Amino acid sequence: MSEALLYSFRRCPYAMRARLALRYSGVAVRIVEVSLKAKPAEMLALSPKGTVPVLSVGGQVIDESLAIMQWALAQHDPDDWLLQNEPAALALIAENDQDFKHHLNRYKYAERYPEHPMEHYRAEGEVFLQKLEILLAGRSYLLAEHLSLADVALAPFVRQFAHVDREWFASTPYIRLQTWLQRFLESPLFVAVMAKP
């Protein structure tokens, strides 16, 4: 297989989860860090929508982060991140990518959405945090006793939500979620994919 090429932006949660899956699966990939103000013509030629991540491999272009993760895991998934294609994982990721991301954007950039105060958007996003806290009641990860696709796909977004107001997040009753997020942020895998190029 020819070398894979990934157009990425280090702090983008979609790009993060693509890099995490590619690294975990052991796919050899060259990462091109993109300036969102000056997107490279080569990337736009592959994917005119102009968002990261974009993976080019063996003549194939994949420009959705979840599809990149699934492609990577199809190559090699030693710890069963796919959980035998557990449908609950895809349902949770869809809820994250649609509803939670919607509230996260408004909470993070509340000044752009003056219809409601920041706390309103935060409360809307909290509904999802509460759901995750309940999922973590009996185990250390969201859907299994080990890291899975759901954890890795959601964690970059929960991280972003937590970092809008770290003091607030630390003061919440979501103790299991805080522990889950901290474990993820300190994991060798996350540290590796966040290293500055």
Are 15 and 96 contained in the same domain? Answer: no
Is residue 71 in a domain?
Answer: yes
Q: Give CA–CA dist 178/39, Å, rounded.
A: 35
Is residue 133 in a domain?
Answer: yes
Is residue 197 in a domain?
Answer: no
Are 98 and 156 contained in the same domain? Answer: yes
58 and 3 Cβ atoms separated by less than 8 Å: no
Are 108 and 184 contained in the same domain? Answer: yes
Are 37 and 125 contained in the same domain? Answer: no
Is residue 172 in a domain?
Answer: yes
Is residue 131 in a domain?
Answer: yes
Are 154 and 107 contained in the same domain? Answer: yes
CA-CA-CA-CA torsion sign (98, 183, 31, 68): negative
**169: domain CATH number?**
1.20.1050.10
**Residues in the chain with pLDDT < 70?**
1-2
Structural domain ending residue among the three candidates 27, 59, 78: 78
Are 110 and 181 contained in the same domain? Answer: yes
Q: Give CA–CA dist 108/88, Å, rounded.
A: 27
Q: Per residue in 31-64, pLDDT tens?
A: 999 998 999 999 999 999 999 999 999 999 999 9
Structural domain ending residue among the three candidates 78, 113, 129: 78
Structural domain ending residue among the three candidates 78, 98, 126: 78
Burial 132-168 (b: 16+ CB within 10 A, else e): bbebbeeeebbbbeebbbbbbbbbbbbbbbbebeeee
Are 69 and 41 contained in the same domain? Answer: yes
Are 72 and 96 contained in the same domain? Answer: no
Q: Per residue in 62-75, pLDDT tens?
A: 999 999 999 999 99
Is residue 113 in a domain?
Answer: yes
Is residue 55 in a domain?
Answer: yes
Identify the pLDDT of residue 196: 86
Identify the pLDDT of residue 3: 82
Q: Give CA–CA dist 108/126, Å, rounded.
A: 13
Identify the pLDDT of residue 158: 98
Are 73 and 94 contained in the same domain? Answer: no
The domain of 169 spans: 87-188
Number of domains making up the chain: 2
| pTM recorded for the entire structure | 0.96
Q: Find out whether the peptide bond into 197 is cis, omega within 30 degrees of 0.
A: no
**17: domain CATH number?**
3.40.30.10
Are 72 and 102 contained in the same domain? Answer: no
Identify the pLDDT of residue 36: 85
